Amino acid sequence: MKTKIKVTAVLIFISLLFAFAMIAFTACGNSDEFADEQLEAGEVRVNARDGRAIVRWGDTDADGYNVYASPSLYGEYEKINDRTVTSNRFETEEYPYYYFCIKAVESGTETEIADPVSAFGDETLIVAEDDDMEAVQQHIDEKHARLESGSTGQFSDERFAIMFMPGDYSELNVKVGYYTNVMGLGKVPGDVKLGGLYVSDKVLANDNSTCTFWRGVENVAIDADTEWNNAIVVRWAVSQATSMRRVDINGDLALSTPSGWSSGGFLANSRVSGTVYSGTQQQWMSRNDEWQAWSGNSHSYVFSGCEGYIPAAGWSESGNRYTVIEETEKIAEKPFLICDGGEYSVFIPDVVSGSSGVTWTQEEAGRFISLDDFYVANPDTDDAETLNAALASGKHLLLTPGHYSLDKPVVVNEDDTVVLGMGYATLEISNFNSECAIKVGDVGGVRLANLLIDAGEYSENMVVIGETSGLSHADNPVVLSDMFLRIGGVENVHTETDTAMVIRSNDTIGDNFWIWRADHSLGVAWEDEYENGVVKNYGNPVQTGLLVSGDNVKCYALMVEHCEKYQTYWEGENGLTVMYQSETPYRVPSQDQFMSHDGTKNGYASYKVDDGVQKHRAYGLGVYLVQYGNSFDIDSAIEAPDADGIEMVHMVTCSFSASGTSTINNVINDIGGAVGSNSNFRRLVDRFPVR
């Protein structure tokens, strides 16, 4: 009997050993994705996996290492290892998203081997209320100095996210340069209070803010503290590819510099206690906002679901040019990151219909997803293969600031997947990828947000949403927030895509797009230009910016520019656009190379609704003529069927060309008259069809 008991005990002991071995093997397997990576001396890298921080560093031949951690970069660091670490690796579940400082120990003396690093990457600054604010301000100022101007910042490789833990930061003045996201980590904007925030007037000469792109701020409260035409304001003089969301401004807001001009931007789910001064802002989209007063008028301002003093709708040369829609038909606010009691999560707001005003003054409908359920990507270690593997395992993606080279598409095939970028995380289509950067299957509830996508040498598309199955996603639509696609401009190489974004999935919602065939800087020729058999200037050809074939698709703040054929082509039924902004292509070689309708019409319409579409609505559309080089004509800025199911309201064309003889001959179809250097500066059509 005793022998039997002993044998049983031994078997149990062996089973336990085997179980522990399997657990250890599994844990080792989960983290051994980095086993083959060799880091240089003085290099530290942190990755977060399933709520666990994996910290690695290059060998320094020290006796050992101590590990210090802090929730913010300039906060208090606490030693977290019980005994000296003798390897080049440390893992912890207690501090997955902290900063880690590694100190080499040699003869009892500690030496810091590198600056502290977190899983959010070295292009992210996390700030807490008790930090050294002088160091924080200096960090922000030094980064801004490099990302401030058009010459040093506009096509910089740097990316930057500033994440504020809940707290009062009234002594800070936050300067927002290119590729910068300012993010409050509270549940509501008032949880993070900033002493000031502004966009510089030194972007281009003469206070020109028409190239003030790629920057955003969200989920903070801000005190007005910048002078603007004898008023104290928050100055947000921006153009395309920018967003101001979930912001509570104490005071006034200015959308331009005092004497320069700006050209297009986006304000959503925000409150201004005072006046919004539009100044020289040429066009603007406001959605679900509140303010006390609005001052200013230009080519086209669109207000959807806004409350407070909203200017009366009007559309005339001598009066106002405002488009007012009382309720936003259907929308979901952008997902955002929060930190509550040290625990990180992402809040996913629900889709709502018939909304007006801000969402955060009452309990918000939505769901929290723990950051542990995200794959926190790092541009130094991640590519299409690792991102797809994470998605296939059921993870969401959080893309930390930096550049991700993709030799094949990132594929999203699971309902309710979230792909969220920080600090203008950039997906770069490599020259080996002829398909696209990101492809979403015919699934529901996917959220893509805050992504900058760069074209490669050639890809058929850049973003593809859905398939042509005809499935309805009305109850759980795909929502795309702050999606910015760029072809050319960064360097003098050939970049090309046929159609930049394709939306096939029914019921998709788009919220703030800029699809930009670059018109200035490098690699922006119509086609490759040769000199003595060698390419002198590379081209960035794009046929169409946005193609919509899905039904019931809605786009708010749709901006598409400079493509070589149609900017936007709508084939799907029951589409809706609220605010459209577009410039014509630059450097058209000749009229012969810019003809549509089988060569029978001059130029291509910017906004084209297919002749077979029976129902379509669009409100507040602006198409602007700009000529560099040879003259050309465009017969119609907008084309749409003359049918009872078509409703086009408030359309404008303007000529921004200082010289030349190019024209847009009509606003929509054969209605509206011409703009150009030899014609009117601006033409308006109140609505179409005319009955």
Q: Which two tokens stand for residue 28?
A: 């080792």
Spatial strand order in the sheet of 52-57: 44-49, 52-57, 89-92
Question: Measured between alpha carbons, how far is 108 from 577 in angstroms, rounded to an integer?
Answer: 67
**pLDDT band per the 50, 70, 90 thresholds, residue 485:** very high
Stretch 455-472: mean pLDDT = 96
Question: Measured between alpha carbons, how far is 610 from 573 in angstroms, rounded to an integer?
Answer: 10
Q: Among 47-56, 88-97, 256-265, 436-445, which is the least confidently predicted range?
A: 256-265
Question: Measured between alpha carbons, how far is 674 from 663 in angstroms, rounded to an integer?
Answer: 6
Question: Measured between alpha carbons, how far is 586 from 79 in angstroms, rounded to an integer?
Answer: 58
Q: What is the pTM of this model?
A: 0.94
| pLDDT tens figures, 21-32 | 333 333 333 447
| pLDDT tens figures, 325-362 | 999 999 999 999 999 999 999 999 999 999 999 999 99
Q: Which amino acid type is present at position 394?
A: G
Q: Which amino acid type is present at position 493?
A: V
CB atoms within 10 A of CB 491: 11
Question: Measured between alpha carbons, how far is 586 from 569 in angstroms, rounded to an integer?
Answer: 19
Closest CA to 617 of 357, 245, 359, 304: 304
Helices (H), 367-524: 384-392
Stretch 223-242: mean pLDDT = 94
**Dihedral sign of CA atoms 577, 583, 587, 589 in order:** positive
Q: Is residue 15 pLDDT above 60, yes or no?
A: no
For residue 659, the model assigns a pLDDT of 67
357 HSE (CA, 13 A, CB side): 9
Q: Which two tokens stand for residue 596?
A: 């549509």
Q: Is residue 20 pLDDT above 60, yes or no?
A: no
Closest CA to 450 of 220, 214, 199: 214
Element (H, E) at 134: helix 133-147
Is-catalytic flag, 583?
yes
Give Cα 316 distance to the centre of its chain. Answer: 34
Q: Is residue 231 pLDDT above 60, yes or no?
A: yes
Which 8-state DSSP code applies to residue 437? S
Distance spanning both ends of the chain, measured CA to CA: 101
**pLDDT band per the 50, 70, 90 thresholds, residue 142:** very high
DSSP string of 174-241, one letter each residue: EE--TTEEEEE-SSSGGGEEES-EE--S-SSGGGB-TT--SEEEEEEEEE--EEETTEEEEE----SS
Q: Is residue 669 pLDDT above 60, yes or no?
A: yes
Q: Is residue 9 pLDDT above 80, yes or no?
A: no
**Residues ≥6 apart with Cβ < 8 Å to 456:** 428, 429, 430, 431, 433, 495
Question: Measured between alpha carbons, how far is 48 from 644 in angstroms, rounded to an integer?
Answer: 55
For residue 427, the model assigns a pLDDT of 98
Q: Is residue 431 pLDDT above 90, yes or no?
A: yes
**Residues ≥6 apart with Cβ < 8 Å to 400:** 119, 120, 121, 123, 124, 161, 376, 377, 378, 379, 422, 423, 425
Annotated active-site residue in 326, 583, 639, 647: 583
Residue position matching structure tokens 């149990």:
12
Q: What percent of the chain has pLDDT over 70?
A: 95
Stretch 410-436: mean pLDDT = 98
**pLDDT band per the 50, 70, 90 thresholds, residue 143:** very high
CB atoms within 10 A of CB 609: 26
**Residues ≥6 apart with Cβ < 8 Å to 535:** 494, 528, 529
Give Cα 340 distance to the centre of its chain. Answer: 24
For residue 24, the model assigns a pLDDT of 38
**pLDDT band per the 50, 70, 90 thresholds, residue 201:** confident
Give residue 8's region: left, alpha or beta (phi > 0; psi -120 to 50). alpha
Question: Measured between alpha carbons, how far is 142 from 235 in angstroms, rounded to an integer?
Answer: 20
